[in-house]
Amino acid sequence: MGLLLGAAACGGDADPQSPSARPASASPGGEPGPGRHELTLDHDGVTRSYRLHAPAGYEPGRPVPLVIALHPYPGSGLQMSRLAGLDDVAARENFLVAYPDGIAGGFNALVCCGTADDVGFLRRLADHLVDTWRVDPERVYLTGISNGGDLSFRAAVEASGTFAAIGVASGGFIGDRVAAAGYRPERPVSVITFIGGQDRYAAQFRTGVETWRQRLGCTPVEPAPTSPAAGVGVSRSRCVDGSDVEVYLIENMGHAWPGARGDGMTAPDAGVVATELIWEFFAAHPRPRG
């Protein structure tokens, strides 16, 4: 079962990462300002790299939300920026997007990959951007696909004071860590997730969501939401700690990002656009105060 679960964290082929494929930083020293920045941050004795997109409307003195977006395995921050289309939404809604690179193309999530302290790195990255880029600490969010989605769930539990909500496509609350009954967030973290009916890990992902809801005492929201499109089911739950769980089951989708277009892990005909729904969910779920 371990080998099967490990495969669940894998994605498609990574995009080329030659220097010509990477845009020059608009701020080589990392000074806050609009543009696409190629930056690094030291954590746990390792220099980690990440891309940071600040929209044209970004003002260094004005608090803004932050979305950290995590790529699949094997993959890169560049690949994730091309897949999800978050930069376009950020330009419209005025938030920052950070795209970390996993070590050797992967993140140490729930079932794979590697041994890096990626949860600690995500916490450090969020804190760094709060301190230096004036990110609003109450509006820090995490999203990812496949291996990056698995890490989103892990970070929601192990760094639950950092992230207000997570958005997961084709990833899950799975693996040996999840088997421990006490493995759950200590502070409220809302979840929106997308599961493809044709994904060979769909049953595991669905079981993981149900485990999450049981541990947090979540109950269905009434009235039940209506389907947004043919072949798409949606459920919403409110948990005892005040967090929400929203699940989209997309009958004809495989292991992909719903609504994304182009090559790779895309599902343009999924019936929903995950990027828009994730941001709508994040915008409605700042971290509770206190």
Task: Please tell me the distance from the alpha carbon of residue 280 to that of residue 241, in angstroms, as a whole number.
Answer: 21
Whole domain around residue 278: which residue ranges? 2-10+23-283
What confidence tens digit (pLDDT) does each residue in 209-241 have? 999 999 999 999 999 899 999 999 999 999 999
Domain presence at residue 288: no
Residue of 53, 89, 101, 73 whose CA lies nearest to 10: 73
Domain presence at residue 189: yes
Residue of 66, 42, 43 whose CA lies nearest to 53: 66
Domain presence at residue 180: yes
Domain presence at residue 18: no
Predicted local distance difference test score (pLDDT) of residue 264: 87
Domain presence at residue 289: no
Domain presence at residue 42: yes
Q: What is the pTM of this model?
A: 0.91
Q: Is the pLDDT reported for residue 1 higher than 50?
A: no
Domain count, the chain: 1
Residue 161, domain CATH? 3.40.50.1820
Task: Please tell me the distance from the alpha carbon of residue 82 to that of residue 99, in angstroms, as a whole number.
Answer: 11
Give the tokens for residue 274: 């995950």
Predicted local distance difference test score (pLDDT) of residue 262: 80
For residues 226 and 261, is the Cβ–Cβ distance under 8 A?
no
Domain presence at residue 16: no
For residues 77 and 101, is the Cβ–Cβ distance under 8 A?
yes
Q: Is the pLDDT reported for residue 13 higher than 80?
A: no
Predicted local distance difference test score (pLDDT) of residue 126: 98
Count CB-CB contacts under 10 A for residue 128.
18
Averaged pLDDT, 21-37: 63
What confidence tens digit (pLDDT) does each residue in 92-146 have? 999 999 999 999 999 999 999 999 999 999 999 999 999 999 999 999 999 999 9
Give the tokens for residue 96: 């920052």
Domain presence at residue 147: yes
